[in-house]
């Protein structure tokens, strides 16, 4: 059985994700939408950017390996969750922004 996983850009506003969920529900679709919140990931993104800083740019530590985030995304694809936080720093950041925006 092919579950046909899709990806939505993180820049898509929350209201658009809610709208997509509502439309899928209305159509009785078998497609689920999950927002996966990721921590700082060790990717080549920072090697390709040109910077004018004294130090090389990097994600905010702790920096996770891509395999960790891939495991979280894979888990989210096969489990029914509306939102998934990968890594404790992500959880702290999200809840910190909710408590003290």
Query: Could you give the CA distance from residue 29 to residue 40 in angstroms, rounded to a whole number?
Result: 33
In 3D space, the residue among 38, 37, 19 whose CA is nearest the CA of residue 27 turns out to be 19
Over its length of 101 residues, how does the chain's per-residue pLDDT go in tens digits? 444 555 555 555 677 778 888 888 888 888 888 888 888 888 887 777 777 777 777 787 888 899 999 999 999 989 888 888 998 888 888 888 889 87
How many helices and strands, by DSSP H and E, does the chain display? 4, 2
Give the model's pLDDT for residue 1.
41
| pTM (predicted TM-score) | 0.66
83 phi, psi to nearest 5 deg? -150, 145
CB atoms within 10 A of CB 95: 11
């Amino acid at each position: 059985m092919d579950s046909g996983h899709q990806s939505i850009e993180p820049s898509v506003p929350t209201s658009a994700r809610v709208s997509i969920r509502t439309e899928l529900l209305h159509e009785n679709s078998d497609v689920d939408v999950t927002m996966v919140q990721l921590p700082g990931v060790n990717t080549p993104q920072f090697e390709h950017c040109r910077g004018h800083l004294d130090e090389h740019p990097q994600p905010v530590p702790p920096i996770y390996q891509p395999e960790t985030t891939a495991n979280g995304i894979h888990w989210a694809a096969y489990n029914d969750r509306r939102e998934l936080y990968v890594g404790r720093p992500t959880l702290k950041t999200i809840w910190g922004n909710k408590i003290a925006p």
